[in-house]
Amino acid sequence: MSRIYIFTGKGGVGKSSVAAAHAYKSAKEGKKTLLVSTDMAHNLGDLFEHKLGKEAEEVLPNLSLYEIDPEYVMQNDFAYIVDYIGRLLSDAGGMSISDLGMIPGMEELFSLLKIADIYKEETYERIIVDCAPTGETLSLLKFPELLSWYMEKLFPIGKIGVRLLAPVSKAVFKVEMPNKTAMNDIEKIYLKLAELQELLKDRDVSSIRIVTTPEKMVVEETKRNYMYMNLYDFNVDGLYINRILPADIGNEFFDRWIVLQREYIDTLKECFSALPICEIPWYDEEVRGEAAIRRIADNVLADKEVFGKRIIKDRESFTQNEKGYQLEVFAPCADKADIDLYQASTDIVIKIGNFKRNIPLPNSLRSYNVTSAKLEDGRLRIQFEQEK
Ligand SMILES: Nc1ncnc2c1ncn2[C@@H]1O[C@H](COP(=O)(O)OP(=O)(O)OP(=O)(O)O)[C@@H](O)[C@H]1O
Ligand SMILES: [Mg+2]
């Protein structure tokens, strides 16, 4: 069975370089490997000094590169979805398919759908994904929520409302409601996205690796990224700290930077203690060309098991205790002040900052109420007790 390794992180931290080194190592191990980039500002071709076309291309034995062009993929592979959306947009009134690019996350979304299709074809044993910077990728974690966001933007009263209100909508709301075919289309897209999300969350299939550098702003974003990934229960199973200055430069200016870096490396190690951490030195040249990529692969990855399945302890569990049940959610780096919690009829809703997650409650807990919640050791523990 093939596996997907997704490299994410803030802009410029070294995602492409680290992903390329993994792809290189993987190919050398004799595994058929695809290194694919979803970032619109592609640079795999530059990195490997090879001009790439619109399809995947083998550049070294066992190693193919693929810079996804979302526009091209939309037209060639997902014409039917584009067609659905086109119909939806015109139903919503006044919008056309050319407005699609304005919807946040759309390009990345089609790129990921394409990767899911490649995965299903089983051509490659390892698919290594070089992502766009965090900001854009994060929004994709919220697929279902994202879709409802689109729904609200396009059809202000939402799906259920549409179904019920369609016959009277024109008169009452003075807007054209999407027709039944369009609603079926929405459902099909929704299912496709749900399937993609399943694939990306499946621990047997996908690993998410975060790349970072030891500097304040990056560390902060890395922590947030990790927290949200865990909130949505994605399988983050590795951290890479890139651009670490060598300790023996012997220069006062750099000595200060080395001390600062040490501090941030310690913070990262604390926060990411659940994960294997890989440290990568700051080299005296850019990572460009096969020799530079091989350098990372040989220096840093050679003696590490970077492709094996890693079991990171359970991130979410319901356990019975003397008072009732406890739900434990892994929420590393979260700040108590940012957490909000509420109980809907069948879900518990956890909100951290701008992100919200609905965790469905098992049937047996529906008659229970949340009686306390604690954040300890990066774990949110929520106590449920039976209604008296
Ligand atoms: N360990 C390193 N030593 C020296 N230079 C590095 C190192 N890692 C990355 N670089 C250089 O830093 C720059 C950014 O790296 P890279 O393109 O891999 O980052 P990225 O996270 O993919 O960036 P983007 O967000 O723009 O896609 C490149 O010029 C690369 O050659
Ligand atoms: Mg990049």
Ligand 1 pocket mutation pick from 16, 39, 282 by most atoms within 8 angstroms of CB: 16
Position 191, amino acid: L
* Residues 357, 292 share a domain: no
Contacts of residue 65, Cβ cutoff 8 Å, sequence gap at least 6: 34, 35, 36, 44, 45, 48, 50, 52, 56, 57, 59
Tell me if 40 CB under 6 Å of ligand 1.
Answer: no
User: With a 6 A CB cut-off, is 45 part of the ligand 1 pocket?
Assistant: no
Does some domain include residue 271? yes
At 382, which CATH number? 2.60.40.790
- Ligand 1 proximity of 213 Cβ (cutoff 6 Å): no
Tokens 């398919």 correspond to 97
Shared domain for 146 and 205, answered yes or no, is yes
Kindly identify the ligand whose nearest atom is closest to the C-alpha of 210. 1
Residue 22, phi then psi, degrees to nearest 5: -65, -45
Task: Provide φ and ψ at 213, rounded to 5°.
Answer: -130, 155
* Angstrom distance (rounded) from CA 263 to CA 37: 32
142 lines ligand 1 (CB under 6 A): no
Residues 7, 60, single domain; the answer is yes
- Please report whether residue 180 resides in a domain: yes
Instruction: Say yes or no: CB of residue 161 within 6 Å of ligand 1.
Output: no
- The residues, any chain, with a CB within 8 Å of residue 22's CB and separated by 6 or more, are 5, 7, 128, 297, 301, 306, 307
Per-residue confidence at 315, pLDDT binned at 50, 70, 90? low
pLDDT reading at 366 higher than 50: yes
pLDDT at 139 over 50: yes
- Residue that finishes a domain, picked among 301, 327, 361: 301
Task: Verify that 188 and 269 share a domain, yes or no.
Answer: yes
List the structure tokens of 298.
Answer: 């040989």
Contact between 128 and 3 under an 8 Å Cβ cutoff? The reply is no
Residue numbers of the domain that contains 149: 3-301
d(CA 371, CA 323): 10
Count of residues in the chain: 388
Rounded to 10°, the helix 158-173/180-201 angle is 160
Whether residues 222 and 333 share a domain: the answer is: no
Indicate whether 309 belongs to any domain.
Answer: no
User: For residue 77, what is the domain's CATH number?
Assistant: 3.40.50.300
277, 301, 325 — which closes off a domain? Answer: 301
* Ligand 1 contacts CB of residue 42 (under 6 A): no
Residue 310 lies in a domain: no
Give the pLDDT confidence of 153-212 residue by residue, as tens digits.
Answer: 555 444 444 444 444 444 444 445 556 666 666 667 777 777 888 888 888 999 999 999
- Of 386, 342, 351, 380, nearest in space to 366 by CA: 386
Strand partners, 66: 36
DSSP characters for 71-136? Answer: HHHHHHT-HHHHHHHHHHHHHHSS--GGGGGGSTTHHHHHHHHHHHHHHHHT--SEEEEEPPPHHH
Indicate whether 36 and 151 sit together in one domain. Answer: yes
Q: 333 and 185, same structural domain?
A: no
Question: Is residue 325 included in any domain, yes or no?
Answer: yes
C-alpha 16 – ligand 1 centre gap (Å): 7
CA of 80 to the centre of ligand 1 (A): 37
- The mean pLDDT value for 331-352 works out to 83
Atom of ligand 1 nearest to the CA of 287: 31
Same domain, 371 and 293: no
Q: What values do phi and psi take at 255, rounded to 5?
A: -55, -40
Which residues partner with 385 through β-bridges? 324, 369
The answer to whether residue 306 sits within a structural domain is: no
Distance 10 CA to ligand 2 centre (A): 10
Q: Who wins on pLDDT, 95 or 223?
A: 223
Contact call for residues 341 and 373 (beta carbons, < 8 A): yes
Q: Any idea what the Cα angle at residue 236 is, between residues 230 and 241, rounded to 5°?
A: 115
In this prediction, residue 165 carries a pLDDT of: 43
Are 276 and 371 members of one domain? no
The whole-number average pLDDT for the span 59-66 is 98
Is the CB of 365 inside a 6 Å radius of any atom of ligand 1? Answer: no
Name the more confident of 190 and 271: 271
> 169 with 37, same domain?
yes
**Cα pseudo-dihedral 275, 224, 112, 129, rounded to 10:** -40
352 and 295 within one domain: no
Q: Kindly state whether residues 184 and 222 are assigned to the same domain.
A: yes
The per-residue pLDDT of the chain, averaged, comes to 83
Which residues, other chains included, contact 203 with Cβ-Cβ below 8 Å and sequence gap of 6+?
A: 235, 309, 311
Question: How would residue 33 be classed by pLDDT, with cut points 50, 70 and 90?
Answer: very high
Q: What is the pLDDT of residue 388?
A: 72
Residue to probe by mutation, ligand 1, list 15, 17, 111, most atoms within 8 Å of CB: 17
Contact 206, 229 (CB under 8 A): no
With contact defined as beta carbons under 8 Å apart, do 68 and 44 qualify? no
- Ligand 1 contacts CB of residue 133 (under 6 A): yes
Q: What is the pTM of this model?
A: 0.81
Is 19 a member of any domain? Answer: yes
Residue 195 lies in a domain: yes
Residues 6+ apart with CB under 8 A from 96: 86, 89, 90
pLDDT digits (tens, 9 = 90+) for 209-258: 999 999 999 998 898 888 778 777 788 999 999 999 998 888 999 999 99
**Residue-level pLDDT at 168:** 46
Phi, psi of 59 (to 5 degrees): -110, -20
Q: Mean of the pLDDT values across residues 134-155?
A: 57
The domain tally of the chain equals 2
In this structure, the residue with its CA closest to atom 26 of ligand 1 is 12
CA nearest ligand 1 atom 4, residue: 283
pLDDT for position 164? 45
With a 6 A CB cut-off, is 289 part of the ligand 1 pocket?
no
Cβ atoms within 10 A of the Cβ of 233, count?
Answer: 16
- What local confidence, expressed as pLDDT, does residue 163 receive? 44
Give the closest residue (by CA) to ligand 1 atom 12: 14
What is the predicted pLDDT for the residue at 158?
A: 44
**Percent of the chain whose pLDDT exceeds 90:** 43
Which of 268, 301, 334 terminates a domain? The answer is: 301
